């Protein structure tokens, strides 16, 4: 009953906050929901001086939800499948090599740049943190969030090739970032003892290649099943079963569920499969169903992110480190994209200032917070959780509200040049 009550409260709160945003603030949903939830939580804090009923209720919800498990083990598979299902597959094929480079090489470079920078700068705040734990922070903060930025890019009228790079990278780097985090996490747990480079490669390859292979199998089976019948009700349920069953299989065999869902979603959503396996009615129902799932889960996710501030330890040194981390992470992301952008920009006719837009448009979201919550106390969990939360809030509220203007200015320059 507790879970039903909590879910009911979350959905109701999400509906109320969503209405307030659409009716009055008129911000992109992800930004508006998170802003309203943070303001609401601050108001609850202030009200608790008189009456702590609301504060206790909010704390009850947060303490009874394992945010890491709910997001990484459940919600993420649905969100990534829905995102991949509606990604322009033809554009992604054209941009596949830069997207691959951004989501693998970019994540790895960003992880080490951020980790090294934090290791060198945290002592300025009397915070001595071992290098391996700083690398863990680099891994959890490097993945960008496709959910947060997609609607903003569409509203800004971003060129398709630019939108595909940012969204495609975000879809894949979620899976890669989680794998990198898990790998470094296991090394940190063992303290470097009993593990060598070959073990790391095997673990990484199993998660990544296994996830991709599972996604191909799931996508192919889903396609064959949908092709053999013409019943939109059953076909929608088949896509749902693919995501839920595929996630269970991925967890059982310890392969990357996020990568599996992205690959499966891309296969089921590409035009060739749509034209040969789905009637127009089925296609409409499948798209609408997954759009609704996407909107519902996103709404709940960003309300939860706003509420997570209740579990933070707001020490002054942690907050100072968080403020410094914001520009450091942006600089490291910019540097991590330089080589891939320079290599591909002339071959694929990149939009001007692609690196700048991808840096500012690389929003962080729930995945980073979920991974930070998964740290152990000896890994300086409280410190990195505060830093992560500050980076995510800045990313969603400041970068999210301004990246549209940046994209529009570039698009305007392109139009004027033409």
- Residue pLDDT tens, the chain, 418 long: 478 888 899 999 999 999 999 999 998 888 899 999 999 999 998 999 899 898 998 988 888 888 988 999 889 999 999 989 988 788 888 888 999 999 999 999 999 999 999 999 999 999 999 999 999 999 999 999 876 666 677 666 677 778 888 888 888 988 899 989 998 998 888 775 556 677 778 888 889 999 999 999 999 999 999 999 999 999 999 999 999 999 999 999 999 999 999 999 999 999 888 999 999 999 999 999 999 998 899 889 999 999 999 889 889 999 999 999 999 999 999 999 999 999 888 877 788 889 999 999 899 988 999 999 999 999 999 999 999 999 999 999 999 889 888 888 877 765 555 4
User: CA–CA separation, 49 vs 58, rounded Å?
Assistant: 15
On whether both 374 and 400 belong to a single domain, the answer is yes
User: CA–CA separation, 273 vs 333, rounded Å?
Assistant: 35
Q: What per-residue confidence (pLDDT) applies to 209?
A: 92
- Give ∠ CA 398-386-40 in degrees, rounded to 5: 60
| Other CB atoms within 10 A of residue 347 CB | 9
- Where does residue 269 rank: exposed (0-12), middle (13-18), buried (19+ CB within 10 A)? buried
List the end-to-end C-alpha distance of the chain, in Å, as a whole number: 61
On whether both 77 and 58 belong to a single domain, the answer is no
Q: What number of CA atoms fall less than 13 Å from residue 141's CA on the CB side? A: 34
Q: Which residues span the domain enclosing 59?
A: 2-63
On whether both 12 and 122 belong to a single domain, the answer is no
Domain boundary among 63, 84, 111: 63
Picking from 413, 392, 357, the residue whose alpha carbon sits closest to that of residue 164 is 357
On whether both 47 and 86 belong to a single domain, the answer is no
On whether both 33 and 137 belong to a single domain, the answer is no
On whether both 52 and 73 belong to a single domain, the answer is no
On whether both 30 and 95 belong to a single domain, the answer is no
| Number of domains forming the structure of the chain | 2
**pLDDT-above-70 percentage for the chain:** 94
Domain boundary among 46, 63, 80: 63
On whether both 124 and 182 belong to a single domain, the answer is yes
On whether both 34 and 102 belong to a single domain, the answer is no
User: CA–CA separation, 290 vs 295, rounded Å?
Assistant: 8
Q: What is the CATH number of the domain that holds 397?
A: 1.20.1530.20
Give the ranges where 191-270 is alpha helix by DSSP (H): 197-227, 232-253, 257-269
Domain boundary among 26, 48, 63: 63
Query: From residue 171, how far is each of 84, 108, 168, 201, 296 by CA, in Å?
Result: 7, 16, 5, 22, 19
On whether both 234 and 380 belong to a single domain, the answer is yes
On whether both 132 and 10 belong to a single domain, the answer is no
On whether both 190 and 294 belong to a single domain, the answer is yes
Q: What per-residue confidence (pLDDT) applies to 418?
A: 43
State the pTM of this model.
0.92
């Amino acid at each position: 009953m507790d879970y039903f009550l909590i879910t009911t409260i979350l959905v109701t709160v999400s509906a109320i906050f969503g209405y307030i945003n659409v009716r009055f603030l008129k911000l992109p949903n992800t930004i508006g929901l998170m802003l309203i939830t943070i303001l609401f939580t601050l108001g609850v804090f202030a009200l608790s001086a008189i009456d702590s009923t609301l504060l206790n209720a909010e704390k009850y919800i947060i303490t009874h939800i394992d945010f890491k498990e709910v997001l990484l083990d459940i919600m993420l598979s649905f969100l990534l499948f829905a995102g991949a299902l509606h990604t322009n597959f033809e554009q992604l094929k054209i941009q596949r090599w830069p997207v691959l480079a951004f989501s693998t090489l970019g994540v790895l470079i960003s992880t080490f740049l951020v980790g090294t920078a934090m290791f060198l700068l945290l002592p300025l705040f009397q915070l001595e943190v071992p290098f391996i734990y700083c690398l863990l922070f680099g891994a959890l903060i490097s993945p960008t969030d496709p959910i947060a930025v997609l609607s903003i890019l569409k509203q800004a009228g971003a060129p398709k090739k630019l939108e595909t790079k940012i969204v495609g990278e975000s879809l894949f780097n979620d899976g890669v970032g989680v794998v990198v985090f898990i790998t470094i996490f296991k090394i940190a747990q063992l303290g470097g003892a009993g593990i060598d480079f070959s073990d790391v490669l095997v673990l990484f390859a199993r998660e990544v290649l296994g996830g991709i292979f599972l996604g191909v199998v799931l996508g192919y089976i889903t396609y064959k099943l949908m092709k053999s019948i013409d019943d939109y009700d059953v076909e929608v349920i088949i896509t749902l079963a693919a995501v839920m069953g595929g996630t269970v299989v991925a967890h059982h065999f310890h392969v990357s569920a996020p990568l599996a869902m992205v690959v499966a979603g891309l296969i089921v959503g590409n035009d060739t499969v749509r034209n040969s396996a789905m009637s127009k009615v089925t296609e409409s129902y499948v798209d609408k169903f997954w759009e609704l799932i996407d909107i519902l889960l996103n709404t709940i996710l960003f309300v939860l992110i706003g509420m997570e501030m209740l579990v933070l330890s707001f020490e002054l040194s942690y907050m100072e480190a968080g403020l410094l981390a914001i520009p450091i992470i942006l600089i490291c992301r910019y540097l991590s994209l330089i080589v891939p952008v320079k290599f591909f920009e002339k071959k694929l006719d990149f939009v001007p200032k692609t690196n700048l837009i991808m840096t500012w448009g690389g929003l962080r979201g729930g995945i980073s917070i979920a991974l930070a919550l998964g740290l152990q106390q000896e890994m300086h969990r409280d410190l990195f959780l505060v830093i992560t939360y500050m980076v995510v809030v800045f990313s969603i509220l400041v970068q999210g509200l301004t990246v549209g203007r940046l994209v529009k200015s570039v698009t305007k320059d392109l139009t004027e040049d033409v």
